[in-house]
């Protein structure tokens, strides 16, 4: 028996990471329809399954959107193909498609060839289903459409029938739209009242301490329960006008509200962009990363998905404090280092909240976690200490400084680790020179070298010459200890062997003296 060709035999799908919980199910549906699937996006993919907003800022979505010839469709396209056992048009199921928001205007009318322009416009209108962010716009149809050919008289009766049906569709569309907007406005009003109660009048015993305790006990057991509801109510702004009226040929049942001046709509968006929170995630399991990334984007924040520290981030969510580059760099830059319970509290409030009680070094977090090690406690307290110190300098001196401001550094370490040290120092405001020429010694304040890790062919700096010119020649361990210990340990404890004999002499030099004074002055401002 010859098998019938599968309806999606020429399709290769890839499901977005944002829909990872449904990936197995969607892949199975695709395979049953004859399609192939890929776990990761590659050049062979023809259809990208995604759910989001019209101008979504998701990195994966943006990279796929830049490629030509890729269909970006909703998961509902695949499910509809399975239900109807035919390949439905992709344009009817864009990634913004939301079945809860779709209105009953998808009837396709048969129109004579004499009114091609009218037919095209109607099809475009049928494809414009409202998404989560945009009000549906009515397609304009010119009253001159029926005058474009000599056959207009013969087709006039057909066109009148089309116009009558279309007018009825528009009236139904307008009525359903107003009912929908009324419903979503009520949802928003309830949300605002509940948010207000959380802000200052919530008498429930939920605190950062209890949240942190619950998370520490449950995070290892079941992180899948933290998934986001992608079908959340649409955020409606009652100040945004209803859609503008179409051409005179199809008047709406009720006149639309006049649009606001353009300037009034744009200013809040510009201010909002400046205040956007930018998050990095560290030492979380893969499922937590997916869940929290979705949550941050839902609340209007930005997720920076990088292995190393990004100076543009404002917050870092940490599973457990670790003495790694990302954590230490966040500390040196004075960023918010927060426990994951902060995001759970934001989830409950449906907005970003004040961070202080969820900072890793705060008593509410440290007292809630009994399993924390001494080093983790030290790292947590140090991060909060540096954030407060650098924040105070910014307020008092009106200048942005880091933990290493004023340092001018030469690195002579293993090449595999050099870039990490460089990023760490630069995140704290240090200037790191390229290379280690002796001509740089006059400007240099610190030299960090680890000759034991260098390869035989690697160049080695002259420590004695650098120390003779007043450079602090230290082991790299000093960098992390400088951040973690309060007060910072004496630099002499980390002095390189070849520089010890110059320590006393160099200590009297003006350069060394100035360097030390700078550190003391800086610390006096910080304390």
For the cut 90, the answer to whether the pLDDT of residue 436 exceeds it is no
Residue pair 100/233 in contact by the 8 Å Cβ criterion? no
Helix locations, 128-261, DSSP H: 152-196, 208-218
From 314, 398, 318, 361, select the one nearest 483 (Cα to Cα). Answer: 361
Residue pair 332/424 in contact by the 8 Å Cβ criterion? yes
Most confident of 258-272, 379-393, 512-526: 379-393
More confident residue, 5 or 324: 324
- Cα angle 161, 176, 350; round to 5: 150
Q: How far apart are CA 420 and CA 126, in angstroms?
A: 54
Q: How far apart are CA 386 and CA 383, in angstroms?
A: 5
Q: What is the pLDDT of residues 279-328, one digit of tens each?
A: 999 999 999 999 999 999 999 999 999 889 999 999 999 999 999 999 99
At the top level of CATH, the class of 276-393 is: alpha beta
Residue 279's DSSP bridge partners are 303, 315
For the cut 60, the answer to whether the pLDDT of residue 84 exceeds it is yes
From 253, 293, 381, select the one nearest 58 (Cα to Cα). Answer: 293
Q: What is the pLDDT of residues 211-223, one digit of tens each?
A: 666 565 555 444 3
On whether the pTM is more than 0.85, the answer is no
Query: What's the number of CA atoms in the CB half-sphere (13 Å) around residue 98?
Result: 19
List of residues 6+ apart from 63 with CB closer than 8 A:
41
- Give yes or no on whether 1-139 and 276-393 have one common fold: yes
pLDDT value for 370: 84
Q: 1-139 architecture in CATH?
A: 3-Layer(aba) Sandwich (3.40)
Tell me how far apart the terminal alpha carbons of the chain are, to the nearest angstrom. 85
Query: If you compute the radius of gyration of the chain from its CA atoms, what whole number of angstroms results?
Result: 31
DSSP code at position 492: G
CATH superfamily of 408-526: BRCT domain (3.40.50.10190)
Query: What's the number of CA atoms in the CB half-sphere (13 Å) around residue 399?
Result: 8
Domain borders along the chain are 1-139, 276-393, 408-526
pLDDT value for 453: 87
């Amino acid at each position: 028996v010859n098998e019938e060709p599968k309806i999606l035999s020429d399709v290769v799908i890839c499901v977005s990471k944002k829909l990872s919980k449904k990936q197995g199910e969607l892949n199975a549906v695709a395979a049953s329809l004859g399609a192939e699937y890929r776990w990761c996006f590659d050049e062979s993919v023809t259809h990208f399954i995604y759910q989001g907003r019209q101008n979504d800022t998701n990195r994966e979505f943006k990279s796929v959107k830049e490629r030509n010839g890729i269909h970006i469709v909703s998961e509902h396209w695949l499910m509809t193909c399975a239900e109807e056992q035919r390949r439905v048009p992709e344009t009817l199921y864009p990634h913004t498609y939301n079945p809860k928001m779709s209105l009953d205007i998808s009837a396709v009318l048969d129109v004579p060839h004499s009114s091609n322009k009218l037919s095209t416009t109607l099809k475009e209108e049928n494809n414009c289903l409202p998404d989560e962010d945009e009000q549906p716009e009515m397609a304009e149809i010119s009253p001159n459409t029926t005058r474009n050919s000599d056959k207009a008289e013969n087709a006039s009766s057909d066109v009148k029938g089309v116009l009558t049906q279309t007018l009825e569709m528009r009236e139904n569309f307008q009525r359903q739209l107003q009912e929908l907007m009324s419903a979503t406005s009520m949802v928003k009003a309830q949300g605002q009242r509940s948010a207000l109660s959380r802000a200052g009048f919530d008498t429930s015993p939920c605190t950062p301490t209890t949240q942190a305790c619950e998370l520490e006990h449950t995070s290892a057991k079941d992180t899948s329960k933290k998934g986001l509801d992608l079908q959340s109510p649409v955020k409606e702004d009652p100040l945004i006008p209803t859609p503008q009226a179409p051409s005179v040929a199809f008047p709406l049942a009720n006149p639309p509200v006049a649009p606001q001046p353009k300037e009034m709509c744009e200013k809040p968006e510009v201010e909002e962009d400046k205040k956007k929170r930018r998050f990095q995630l560290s030492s979380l399991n893969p499922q937590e990363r997916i869940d929290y990334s979705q949550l941050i984007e839902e609340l209007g924040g930005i997720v920076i998905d990088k292995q190393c520290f990004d100076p543009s981030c404002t917050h870092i969510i940490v599973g457990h404090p670790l003495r790694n580059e990302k954590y230490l760099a966040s500390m040196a830059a004075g960023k918010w280092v927060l426990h994951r319970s902060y995001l759970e509290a934001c989830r409950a409030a449906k907005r970003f909240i004040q961070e202080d009680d969820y900072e890793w070094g705060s008593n509410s977090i440290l007292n809630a976690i009994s399993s924390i090690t001494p080093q983790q406690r030290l790292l947590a307290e140090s991060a909060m200490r540096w954030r407060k110190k650098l924040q105070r300098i910014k307020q008092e001196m009106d200048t942005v400084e880091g933990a290493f401001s004023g340092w001018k550094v030469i690195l002579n370490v293993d090449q595999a680790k050099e870039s990490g040290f460089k990023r760490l120092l630069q995140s704290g405001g240090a200037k790191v020179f390229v290379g280690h020429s002796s001509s740089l010694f006059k400007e240099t304040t610190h030299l960090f070298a680890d000759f034991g890790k260098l390869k035989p062919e690697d160049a080695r700096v002259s420590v004695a010459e650098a120390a003779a010119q007043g450079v602090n020649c230290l082991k790299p361990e000093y960098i992390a200890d400088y951040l973690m210990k309060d007060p910072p340990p004496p630099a002499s404890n980390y002095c390189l062997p070849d520089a010890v004999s110059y320590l006393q002499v160099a200590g009297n030099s003006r350069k060394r003296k100035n360097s030390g004074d700078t550190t003391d002055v800086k610390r006096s401002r910080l304390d």
